[in-house]
Amino acid sequence: VLSRALSWSSCCWGSGTMSSYREMIGDWDRAVRAIDQRDWASALSHLNRIPEPGSKICFTLGCVRLKLGDLPGALKAFDQTIAKDDRLAICFFQRGAVHLRLDMFDEALGDFKHALNNLRGNSVIDYTQLGLRHRLHSWEVLYNLAALHSRLDQWLEAQRSLEKAVESRAQGSNTELERALDIVKRKTTFEPVDVPEGIVFRPRKHEVDELNMKDFLGTPKVISSIDPNDSFAGFKPLCPQKLGPQVVRGTRGYHCLLFDFAPKTANEVEAKAGSVVFVLENGEDGWSTVIANEKRGLIPTAYLEVSAGNRGNKQRQAAGNISQTVPQVPGSRIIGTEEEVHSKTVTARRGEDCSLTESVILKVHYEYTVATRVEPGITYAELLGIFKFKLGRKSGQIQISYKDEEKQELVMIRGDEDLERMWEQIVDRRLTLWCKFKDPLSGRQVLYQSQALYDYNGHGVEDMEFNEGDIIDVLCEVNEEWLEGHSNGNIGIFPRCFVSPNSSVMADSKKIVQL
């Protein structure tokens, strides 16, 4: 099994070192992007830089040369593709069309027969899982076979091929086939068909994503320092820092406690003289909200001084305690809720910045009205998660809007930038929003429901991932092995064997092979 897997990998991707593999994926991806922009010359340049291309890249190269009108070059590329993978029916089909245009009729006849044999009696082959967003139908091969017979004046064989094509194309319009039949009856030739322009093999998305360099360490930054002017960030040995100037009391940041403080209420926090605390807010009532000993609470503002020295400066502590008199503690602040803590110091008015420590009440109009309390600093993704939980919607796309007070119209929120403008509409810590959901199943019919037997992690952008026990809405039976379904707000394809069968409502489907 391992040798077969290695053989397939070498066939598809070629051989070489890991560095050349990264370069190959990069050139292949750049070529595909150029093809999407219809820049065929650039695509050809990127593909020619790959020293040992695999079968998929050779097929892509042949399609580019065919578009540029280089039939001999396209034929050579398709020959290389079949030499690496002689089971690729779509390459036999494409090479047969090139042979036919070069009037190499015997070679074209052999290619079309090989294409039919590799279809293995199926009406269609879907190459999506291999990176080619195309389906090869048996009627297309028969159509080109009829075009070949018409050039050889074999009108009876051409008519029979077209009649077989009509039979195999059970659904869809047969206008093109009927027109070809009329042409054959008048003993006139017609042009063959081939793979549509821009349909080529593409590298896997996760392989392209891995081309980008990842910074696992990130950029260092100072998150805590006793010196307010300390901005050093790096991996050097510790260096003495130049102390900044003394700052007056009443600022946000690190402060040194001048005296021991023992709390008298549950809202206050204990701290010792000389310890360093972080001041969050200074109140007009003589109390400061601080973080001390990993606790949040109140300490008298008069007990604090902006810290500009070392934490362990015991001489300064002793001097401070001896030379200064302990100031009088202000009257205790009565605190009921977090909202009341800041009610005397901060007023949330529209157009002013709200502190991240304050919460805001959001009233949401949906099919019913709900209210929730959030902090203005949350992200757009976190806000969506809160609303989905509150409204009991696990799937679907949520749309949130707020009312612009100046324009008097609803503005949809699409990201964090819109969210920042939304916070400017807060009045008295309250804001009204409007919410609606977009059902991903709108216009789709659910055939039946199945339960996942195992976890499934998709391997392509078309795959739908789910976990064991999830309920899946089956939307379409792609073939005997694959289904299309919906679960947890996502739609995609997945293997039939990963879910429980539901034979009572199974619908008849066409025979189709999925590679």
Q: Given a cut of 90, is residue 7 above it in pLDDT?
A: no
Q: Given a cut of 70, is residue 180 above it in pLDDT?
A: yes
Confidence (pTM): 0.43
Q: Given a cut of 50, is residue 354 above it in pLDDT?
A: no
pLDDT above 90 as % of the chain: 25
Residue-averaged pLDDT of the chain = 77
Judging by DSSP bridges, how do beta strands 397-404 and 409-413 pair with one another?
A: antiparallel
CA distance 263 to 373: 30
Q: Quick one: pLDDT at residue 165?
A: 87
Q: For 72-114, how does the pLDDT look when each residue is reduced to its tens digit (9 = 90+)?
A: 999 999 999 999 999 999 999 999 999 999 999 999 999 999 9
Least confident of 15-29, 134-148, 184-198: 15-29
Q: Given a cut of 90, is residue 42 above it in pLDDT?
A: yes
How much is the CA Rg of the chain, to the nearest whole Å? 36
**265: Cβ–Cβ under 8 A, 6 or more apart, which residues?**
332
Within 413-503, where are the H helices?
A: 416-423
Contact 135, 125 (CB under 8 A): yes
Q: Quick one: pLDDT at residue 45?
A: 92
Q: Quick one: pLDDT at residue 28?
A: 93
3-state secondary structure 239-298: CCCCCCCCCCCCCCEEEEECCCECCCCCCECCECCCCEEEEEEECCCCEEEEEECCEEEE
Q: Quick one: pLDDT at residue 442?
A: 66
Domains in the chain, please, with CATH? 2-205 (1.25.40.10), 253-323 (2.30.30.40), 349-438 (3.10.20.90), 448-508 (2.30.30.40)
